[in-house]
Structure 1
Amino acid sequence: MPFKISDIVAAGALARRAQPTLPAPGALVLRPWTAADAPAVYEAFQDPVLQRWHARVADSESEVRGWIEGWIEAWGEERDAYWAIADAGSDEVVGRVALRCMVLGDGQAEIAYWTMPSSRGRGVAPRAVMALSEWAFDEVGLHRLELTHSTANEASCRVALKTGFAAEGTKRSALLHEDGWHDMHLHARIKGEAAVFGSRRP
């Protein structure tokens, strides 16, 4: 029996082309990861603030190179897409931004990000999120992007609201962190919606 509704984005839309490098405001670029970025990622994951919100730890640069290989492979599998946020002039890694849990047929994905400790407070995450969101809507054709974070992660909530991800509610006891189960704020942005800064928190 045929489906009545066509896929929002056809399978192969990403895999049939190379992962692009995307410009972002503030002299930033979103570029594919390379093995040479392993020292920067390893350094980032030694940071206690980043560790608080991640279940994964990095024991060595060799281990991180394996992560990067997986991030690169994920593009061709069209399940996740990871970019390094880098300084456009020096190519120094200042963070990561990603589309995770992509379901192209449904036109949906989850956006995620982190920044290097030395780059916080400079607007890196909001600029990267805005650039990736616009590309996902305008170039790929996704319809809905979600963004979730622990209700205790106020910095991440600020990024969501600054970039037009409207607060939709709270997912109770939704994610296990090292210190126990956390409620998660759910934000989302729909294709065609303008980024409205200063939306209310859940």
Structure 2
Amino acid sequence: MEPITRTTERLLLRPFGPQDADAVYQACQDPDIQRWTVIPSPYTRADAELWTRTLSPAGWREDTMYNFAVVRRDDGPLVGALGVNRCGLPGTYEVGFWTAREHRGSGYATEAVLAAARWAFAALAADRLEWRAEIGNTPSRAVALRAGFRMEGEQRSALFNKGIRHDTWTGALLPADLGLTGTYPHRPATDVSGAP
């Protein structure tokens, strides 16, 4: 897929490029980003260059992952990162994100997640956008809830991060949650007992 740019009231979501390596490197020195995400730890300058120059552009070319640098529209500093990745089932994608420490609490992550969700439902024909975070990552959970994700439970040993398996919270957002129509019909469970 050709990389795209999205805008919101306050943000620009654009593909990562080599110009982002310094800002990514600086943001990813934050122990919270290293703790709660699957980025390497310690995070080196070489890691930032590999991400911005090679891995992120390859995801767009190969139609496997669509990563956005999230920047403020007014003066352009990097406020975070957001990715939409293909999952195994048709029409199912997973969203992941981090926010630079100095920009947390501003609502930027929620704004970016909603923009990415609308794009995924329209451009990728997504019918389900999943969110997953290690249990205990309450800021990520708060963003998912504010964006309208419905919490679906906990999964044991569902995340492999830095050589350790972790339990996760999981949630999902459907097109109907944002007033949109999905690609395929959805038949929600109305009576799980099996009674007519």
Q: Same fold (TM over 0.5)?
A: yes
1:42–1:58: 8 Å Cα contact kept in structure 2?
Answer: no
- What is residue 110 of structure 2 aligned with on the other side? 126
> Offset at 1:113?
0.3
1:97–1:113: 8 Å Cα contact kept in structure 2?
Answer: yes
- What is residue 167 of structure 2 aligned with on the other side? 183
**Structure 2 gaps, min length 5:** 180-196
> Offset at 1:60?
3.2
List structure 1 segments (4+ residues) > 3 angstroms apart after TM superposition.
176-181
- Residue number among 32, 49, 63 corresponding to 1:65 in the alignment: 49
- What TM-score do you get using the length of structure 1 for normalisation? 0.81
Deviations, residues 141-191 of structure 1 (Å, cap 9, x unaligned):
211100001111111111111101101111012224459542101100112
Distance 1:79 1:63 in 2: 20
**Structure 1 gaps, min length 5:** 1-14, 196-202
- What is residue 156 of structure 1 aligned with on the other side? 140
Matched to 2:146, the amino acid is: K
Query: RMSD over aligned Cα, in angstroms?
Result: 1.9
Deviations, residues 101-124 of structure 1 (Å, cap 9, x unaligned):
345x71110000001111001011
Distance 2:29 2:112 in 1: 22
The secondary structure found in structure 2 opposite 1:148 is strand
Q: What is the aligned-residue identity percentage? A: 32
Matched, 1:79 2:59: no
Distance 1:71 1:89 in 2: 24
C-alpha distance 65-179 of structure 1, shift in aligned 2 (>3 A) = closer
The secondary structure found in structure 2 opposite 1:158 is helix
- What TM-score do you get using the length of structure 2 for normalisation? 0.83
